[in-house]
Amino acid sequence: MINVGIVGVGFMGWIHYLAYLKVSGIRVGAIVSRDAAKRAGDWTSIKGNFGPPGRRVDLSDVKVYETLEEMLSDSDVDVVDLCLPPQMHLSAIEKSFAASKHVFCEKPLALSTVECDRAIATSEKTQRHLMVGHVLPWFAEFRFAVDAIESGKYGRLTGGVFKRIVSDPRWLEDYWARQKVGGPLFDLHVHDAHLIRILFGMPSQCFSSGRLRDGVAEFAHSIFQFSDPNVTVSSTTGAIDQQGRPFCHAYEIYLEKATLQFEMSVYSDGVEKIEAKLIASDDGEENALVQRAVIEDDDPVDAFVTEVQEVRDSIVNGKPSNVLDGTLARDAVAICQAQEASIKSRAVVAIS
């Protein structure tokens, strides 16, 4: 049995906890929280934008710690699951590796490529796994697209358009602090940057046009360039003032013989979707085949269950899976960092 210690019992810590309950071979053996109520099992204060609200949990078979340092001395803990604010990631990662623990870190890996590179180097030096929680490819509608692309049936990728927008998250402290959360690029768009990196490879440069709030990118339209001049990829991301639409994400992905489409918007009075579908046709075919994704269960926690299964399998197999790979997470941060630089300079920026 693989024992995991969750550090930080907020919304993501809660979602991870629920996921571990559904996966065999791995369990929550410890938690770390500064909050005495949460250490006592009262998680009713936890709220988020999906999944069930927090509740009271039974921690009778879970070790409880107030600090990371206390937990790291526990020889029963195999993996440290970091659900801390981004500015705390690097220090916690380095301390965990020094204690010979594997690390599963919620995205983003860090707020700069310099910190990402330090985390990766420490992972290699200590020979401990660095796994990063970029869960998007395991959400059902995105898994549908990834599976269709990886099947090879529809030819090569030729481009894509990605959108991810939230209403201003006024309840989140430090959201607009560049060195703490980083705003929408690093908290929100990093999901799509990671997916773009997986599907298309690393873009060589980007141009982003957007507006800033206190020096932090508030909204951005971006165009990415690749070594293949025939690949065209763009994205739109940021925060809007209207609280009546708290979330929206979407994609159109283009292949030689198919187009993949999906969009979901959350409104104050409900959710609307353009269901995930594949529109396929051969050259000269007038009537395209439309294949709709079959989504049996729309519980977003299920994507995290798959992610936790990948964490377990990565430990057992001795190597993180592609989606969890720390280098890909680093590249996602590099993409966001270049977009930020482009907005500020109003120029094309190289991505490295």
- Is the residue at 117 inside a domain? yes
Please say if the pLDDT value at position 149 is more than 70. Answer: yes
Between CA 115 and CA 71 the distance in angstroms is 23
Q: Is 145 helix (H, G, I), strand (E, B) or coil?
A: helix
* pLDDT confidence tier of residue 55, bands split at 50, 70 and 90: confident
Q: Can you name the residues that pair with 217 across neighbouring β-strands?
A: 212
Residue 117 sits in the same domain as residue 143 = no
Residue 97 sits in the same domain as residue 220 = no
> 100, 134, 168 — which closes off a domain?
134
pLDDT tens profile 291-345:
787 776 667 789 999 999 999 999 999 888 889 999 999 999 999 999 999 999 9
Mean pLDDT, the chain, integer:
93
Q: How many independent structural domains does the chain possess?
A: 2
Residue 35 sits in the same domain as residue 127 = yes
Please say if the pLDDT value at position 279 is more than 60. Answer: yes
Spatial contact of 100 and 29, defined as CB atoms under 8 Å apart: no
Residue 158 sits in the same domain as residue 263 = yes
- Is the residue at 297 inside a domain? yes
pLDDT of residue 336: 98
CATH code of residue 245: 3.30.360.10
Please say if the pLDDT value at position 284 is more than 60. Answer: no
Q: What is the domain extent for residue 231?
A: 137-302+332-350
Average pLDDT over residues 271-278: 92
- Is the residue at 157 inside a domain? yes
> 80, 109, 134 — which closes off a domain?
134
Residue 52 sits in the same domain as residue 182 = no
Residue 106 sits in the same domain as residue 252 = no
- Is the residue at 156 inside a domain? yes
* pLDDT confidence tier of residue 286, bands split at 50, 70 and 90: low
Spatial contact of 253 and 157, defined as CB atoms under 8 Å apart: yes
> Helix 89-98 to helix 113-126 angle, to the nearest 10 degrees?
10
First to last CA, the chain: 39
Residue 153 sits in the same domain as residue 289 = yes
pLDDT of residue 334: 98
Residue 238 sits in the same domain as residue 345 = yes
Residue 113 sits in the same domain as residue 144 = no
- Is the residue at 310 inside a domain? no
> 134, 163, 185 — which closes off a domain?
134
pLDDT of residue 173: 83
The tokens 């310099």 sit on which residue? Answer: 114
Q: Which residues, including other chains, have CB under 8 Å from residue 340's CB and lie 6 or more apart? A: 185, 208, 217
- Is the residue at 43 inside a domain? yes
Between CA 205 and CA 203 the distance in angstroms is 6
Residue 144 sits in the same domain as residue 75 = no
Residue 80 sits in the same domain as residue 54 = yes
Residue 130 sits in the same domain as residue 141 = no
CATH code of residue 83: 3.40.50.720
Cis peptide preceding 108, ω within 30 of 0 = yes
- Is the residue at 74 inside a domain? yes
- Is the residue at 321 inside a domain? no
